[in-house]
Amino acid sequence: MPDSPKSVDLRLPTRITPCSIVNAITEVRFQTDQSPTVVPGLIYSAVRERFPKQTDLPHAQIPDAARATMPELRYAPTVVMNGEQLSLHVGPRCLFLGMNGTEYPGWSAYREMLTWVLAQIRPLKLVKVPERMGLRFMDFFTNPVQECLQVDLLIGGKSEVARPLQIVSELERRGHACRVQISNNSVLASPTGPKQGCLLDVDLGFGSDSQLFWEQAVVLFDQAHEVQKEMFFRELVRPSFLATLKPEY
């Protein structure tokens, strides 16, 4: 059951300690007139100043004609370009920014890099039709799920949330399609060794008008980020657990 705090604070924290975010992804899936084989190279030539290290991913070995017929691979990246804090994953029909094994730099830094990447790519005229935009955050907690998240699973009227489980829910929040996945038996690799705990994965999908994509893209990601924050702090994290994370406002 959700906590019942004495009063509701309408503010959203700007920082928690320790930061629970282990990955954050801004994604654009698109149609293009360019040959699938040249898209990654064109993008690399435009962004290599900040993403100088390029590596092929395993999916690059599969011919695009075959990947295009597989729903699970059609939008899979074939190349990763690594920068200092973030990495840019690129495929014939997709690109996304993800964390590069470092700490989450904060939305302001993330937004600045996203703005820069889109500015470099825009002159290439690769994005003919934006098919899907997405903002995905993954948070990891070493606490049991029943301590940190407002979630429960009842079977026969009895809570089973303390057992190993995976929950997937499709929701809608302020016009965004939200996919929430929770696993309470996840293992996270870390410099100090594997950690076991609870993984919260929230993916928000949304669209953009093709004619206004370049003008709207960053604004739409900002709006999705606000929806993410509202869900995380008001619907998903228990107020009693949030109080232990030294929230700053």
Q: For residue range 145-202, list pLDDT tens digits in order.
A: 999 999 999 999 999 999 999 999 999 999 999 999 999 999 998 878 899 999 999 9
Q: Are 130 and 29 in contact (CB under 8 A)?
A: yes
pLDDT in tens, 31-83: 999 998 899 999 999 999 999 999 999 989 999 899 989 989 999 999 999 99
Residues 78 and 151 in one domain: no
Output the CA–CA distances (angstroms, integers) from residue 25 to 99, 174, 193, 198, 221, in the order listed.
7, 20, 24, 19, 11
Do 234 and 133 share a structural domain? yes
DSSP 8-state class, residue 243? G
Separation between Cα atoms, residue 103 and residue 202, nearest integer Å: 18
Across the chain, mean pLDDT equals 93
3-state secondary structure of 100: coil
Which pTM was predicted? 0.92
Q: Are the C-beta atoms of 88 and 70 separated by less than 8 Å?
A: no
The total number of structural domains that make up the chain: 2
The residue out of 79, 110, 126 marking a domain boundary is: 126
Of 126, 149, 168, the last residue of a domain is 126
Q: Is residue 8 part of a domain?
A: no
Do residues 178 and 120 share a domain?
A: no
Domain residues for the domain of 168 are: 13-30+129-249
Does one domain contain both 102 and 158? no
Q: Among residues 126, 150, 171, which one ends one of the domains? A: 126
pLDDT at 217: 97
According to the model, what pLDDT value does residue 9 have? 60
Neighbouring CB atoms inside 10 A of 5's CB total 12
- Say if residue 170 is in the same domain as residue 233: yes
Neighbours of 76 (CB within 10 A): 18
